[in-house]
Amino acid sequence: MNSLQQTEAGGQRRLSDDDVDILFDNASRAADFLRTLSHETRLMILCVLCQGEKSVGEMEEFLSLRQPTVSQQLARLRSEGLVTTRRDGKSVYYSLASPEAAQMVGVLYDLFCKRDEKA
């Protein structure tokens, strides 16, 4: 059972000692994951891939970025295991390989985009 609990004050979470120990044990892995997500272009690529599989050309057009930029960032995401590829003839299609990345994009949307919708 996860012992993360909502507190009454401001929706903050309180961690048990066991939870803190688990976070300490996984801090390096979490930091690597967050470093990968911390690049604006990589984050935008993950957002696009949350809609489904896309080719480099589709992402290039959607993001208004040049192909070398998109390909470079996709290579980083692939090396980190966040995206996967499927080849169809000469085209390469990318999709999310990491449920954690999709979940994080959802959290970021809730934190930064829903607020904008309410304004």
Residue with tokens 């004050």: 9
Strand partners, 13: 6
Q: How confident is the model at residue 3 (pLDDT cuts 50, 70, 90)?
A: very low
pLDDT at 88: 95
pLDDT at 8: 44
Phi-psi region of 74 (alpha: psi -120 to 50; beta: other; left: phi over 0): alpha
pLDDT at 117: 58
Domains annotated on the chain, with CATH: 13-118 (1.10.10.10)
Rounded to two decimals, what is the model's pTM?
A: 0.76
Nearest alpha carbon to residue 46 among 100, 4, 7, 3: 100
Residue 53 sits at φ, ψ, to 5 deg, of: -60, 140
Lowest mean pLDDT among 1-10, 43-52, 72-81: 1-10
* Contact assessment for residue 76 and residue 112, using Cβ atoms and an 8 Å cutoff: no
* Contact assessment for residue 94 and residue 83, using Cβ atoms and an 8 Å cutoff: yes
What's the alpha-carbon Rg for the chain, to the nearest Å? 17
More confident: 117 or 30: 30
Average pLDDT over residues 106-116: 82
Q: Which two tokens stand for residue 102?
A: 């999709």
* Contact assessment for residue 50 and residue 41, using Cβ atoms and an 8 Å cutoff: no
